[in-house]
Amino acid sequence: MTFRSRLLIAFAIATIVPLALLGFGVRRQLTARLVAQHQRRVEDMAKVAAQDVERESASIAARLSTLARTLRTDDRFRMAAVRGDPGERAYLLDWAELAMRTTGLEMLQLQDSGGRILSSGHFRNEFDRLEPELPRALGAAKGAVLVNVRAPEGSFLALARAESVYVAGRRFDLVGGIKVDSVFLQRFAREEGLHVILSEAKDPKVPGRGLSIGTTRIPRLPARDDNSRPARDDTSARDDNGADNVVAELPIPYLTDSQTTAHLIIAYDIPELALLRRDVDQWFAAALVVVVAGALAVAAWLSRRLSEPLATLTHAASTIDLEGPELALAAGRDDEIGTLARRLGSMSTRLRASAARLRHAERRATVGDMARQVNHDIKNGLIPIRNVLRHLVQVQEQEPQNLPTVFAERRATLESSVGYLDTLARNYAKLTPRVDRRAVDVNGIAAEVAASIAVGNNVRVRTRLPDNVPRALGDPVVVRRIIDNLVRNAVESFDAEGGEVTLATARTPTGGVRITVVDTGRGMSSEELAHAFDDFFTTKPDGTGLGLSVVRRLTTDLDGSVRVESAPGQGTAVTIELPSCTPS
């Protein structure tokens, strides 16, 4: 995996994870606060519902009590129920229906002490049926109780109470109540989103368990937008954590075969919670997109900023040629990459110096060969001279009168051989590695060289020799040879039109001595520059190819450095840096 890929992944993770945590946290906090707020509200509603149920219970009790008082003074009732007058039987049968309508009750039974139904308001023709358990159970209860009441069309659920009345010493039981249906429950669902469920199960997520008890019809609330649809078929909360609605519960006694309790469950859907969640999700998604896009862009930019210089350095490192010119690395940066580049450049320089020294050592290894060559060359030069001398000695001994003539004849040979040796000596003298170490007045040597160099009329040698240049540590002869070679090379680089040579010295930032020879000559191509320090490489027809080679060797011997900058038609600048005599 590339550095760039890793950087992108890291940025993506670094932005997504905290943002996701933030979104989750905000969502959770909002949910918790809204749920808590609505939970309190629903619990208050449950308290109000409890009061309403209590009020209904009291109202039923009051109405039954009124009916009981009325019965005691109802003569027709007495005649029918006590005396058994058949003429008033119809009155008795219709009494409960009339009483039910009058009092606003929705179920009413009148039973005798044996549990026989004498009159029924909600089911007129159930007279004479026995149902003694109902008033007994209701009488045992403290308040209103939910009961399943039989009706012609089926049974219905009612909130009922019982009341006893004694007429002529006989006990009669009144059982009355109101229907508990969707209309009844609707009074508790006063607000949008509020659902009221009557269930035997406490948990509203258990759908319709109460509805399956016997023939009980637990009413279902109409849905908010569709009155024909049961409201709480979906009694489960809308999401798994159950946070979309809040629930409060009110137990109500429920009379069945097994005395149990029904639960009035008030559930409130929190529509704004869903909206809030949706908004948070949308904003989170938008923020995520923006942040991730931004992070990826920054990551891409950073990775490019990092990887491109590294790639350049890598490429530069892979193309370092110890024999070629120095490469320009990104050493101008002041960051880690700049440091790395400088270190790499420094390493390259040291490697190049080492390579140069290695090459120099190789050359020195060849000195032996050269010595033999020199020996051979000198012998070659001496042999004609010895022969001429032997010839002259022989002429002097045998024909002294001809000595001048013979000398004149052989003089050219002598001069030629001497010239040859002289040339040979001068050439080989340039390779002599004898270095001394002492303080050298570079400015003085430079001035002597500039003054002694023979130049034509069209060549001008200028010097810039400031006083603050320290003395260098080295050999004055070697330094002179270096400067002399450089100036001579510069002068020789001019064509017929001539040019100008500038010989300058300066103090380096590290306290050393810098010698610069700049000419306006023809300059060198990059290929020529690459071989400028090679032995015997020359671009001049009569050049020896040893000038710059000797300069570099001598400079190296003085622990200095040499740098050449040149371009075709731009002239050449050679810079020599030598260590100072005094430590900086």
Partner 1 sequence: MVTASSAPVDSASVVVTSPVNVQNAPRPTTWGERFVFALADTAAKRDCRDRPLSNVAGPYGIRDVGRSTLQLEPVAGARGPRLTIHLATETSARDLVDAGVDLLVTDSPALAAYAATRGDVTSAPLGWDRTWVVATPSGSLAIDSSVAFRSGLARDAVRTDARASEGTHWWSDTTGCSTATVRSALASIGTSRVVYPHDESVARALAERLVAVLGGRATATGLAPNAFRSALLSGSEMAYVFPLRRMTVDRCRSMTELVERASWLGGRGAITALIDTRLHAVVRRDRLNLTFTWDSTVAIAPARP
Q: List residues binding partner 1 (CB under 8 A).
A: 86, 89-90, 93-94, 123-127, 129, 152-154, 215
**Burial class of residue 16, CB neighbours in 10 A (0-12, 13-18, 19+):** middle
Token pair listed for 471: 């003395």
* HSE of 219, CA atoms in CB hemisphere, 13 A: 21
Distance CA 15, CA 292 (A): 6
Q: Which is nearer to partner 1, 43 or 131 (CB)?
A: 131
**CA 382 to mean position of chain CA atoms:** 84
Q: Is the CB of 124 or the CB of 430 nearer to partner 1?
A: 124
- Round to whole Å and give the CA distance between 167 and 78: 8
Q: Which two tokens stand for residue 529?
A: 């520059």
Cα distance between residue 288 and residue 19, in whole Å: 7
For residue 68, what are its two tokens?
A: 């009981």
Query: For residues 94 and 239, which CB has a smaller minimum distance to partner 1 in the complex?
Result: 94
The 3-state DSSP class for residue 313 equals helix
CB of 126 to partner 1, least distance (A): 4
Shortest gap between Cβ of 48 and partner 1 (angstroms)? 36
Q: For partner 1, which is the closer residue by CB, 93 or 287?
A: 93
Helix (H, G, I), strand (E, B) or coil at 112: strand
Q: Kindly tell me which of 126 and 528 has the beta carbon lying closer to partner 1.
A: 126
Nearer to partner 1 by Cβ, of 130 and 393: the residue is 130
Q: Which is nearer to partner 1, 86 or 583 (CB)?
A: 86
Would you say 152 or 541 has its CB closer to partner 1?
A: 152
Closest approach of partner 1 to the CB of residue 188, in Å: 29
Amino acid at 128: D
* Residues 23, 31: Cα–Cα separation, whole Å: 12
Q: Which amino acid, one-letter code, is at 550?
A: V
Q: Are 488 and 452 within 8 A, CB to CB?
A: no
> CA 162, CA 137: separation in Å to the nearest integer?
9
User: In this complex, which beta carbon is closest to partner 1, that of residue 127 or of residue 284?
Assistant: 127
In one letter, which amino acid is 476?
P
Alpha-carbon separation of residue 117 from 152, 158, 160, 383, 405 (angstroms)? 15, 18, 16, 166, 183
Please report where in the chains the tokens 């004694």 appear, as a residue.
Answer: 166
Q: Nearest distance from residue 220's CB to partner 1, in Å? A: 20
SS3 content of the chain, % helix, strand, coil (to 5): 50, 20, 30
Count helices and strands (H / E) in the chain. 13, 15
CA distance 358 to 476: 25
Element (H, E) at 565: strand 561-567
CA distance linking residue 503 with residue 481, whole number of Å: 14
Task: Find the shortest distance in angstroms from Cβ 125 to partner 1.
Answer: 4
Nearer CB in complex with partner 1: 125/468:
125
Q: What is the CA radius of gyration of the chain?
A: 61
Tokens of 460: 């001008």
Min. distance of Cβ 123 from partner 1 in angstroms? 7
Q: What are phi and psi of 116, to 5 degrees?
A: -85, 130
Q: Which residue has the tokens 């949910």?
A: 31
Q: Is 89 or 460 the residue whose CB approaches partner 1 more closely?
A: 89
Residue 142 backbone dihedrals phi, psi, to 5 degrees: -80, -35
CB-wise, 215 or 380, nearer to partner 1?
215
Judged by CB, which is closer to partner 1: 179, or 552? 179
Could you tell me the smallest distance in angstroms from the CB atom of residue 120 to partner 1? 9
Taking the least distance from each CB to partner 1, the nearer of 214 and 368 is 214
Q: What would the DSSP string read from start to end of 235-257?
A: -S-SSTT-TTEEEEEEEEEEESS
CB of 227 to partner 1, least distance (A): 22
- What is d(CA 419, CA 411) in angstroms, rounded to the nearest whole number? 12
- Residue 93 Cβ, how far from partner 1 at the closest point, in Å? 6
CB burial string 496-516: b at 16+ within 10 A, e below: eeebbbbbbbbebeeebbbbb
| Minimum distance of partner 1 from residue 35's CB (angstroms) | 43
Within 8 A by CB and 6+ apart from 448, the residues are 480
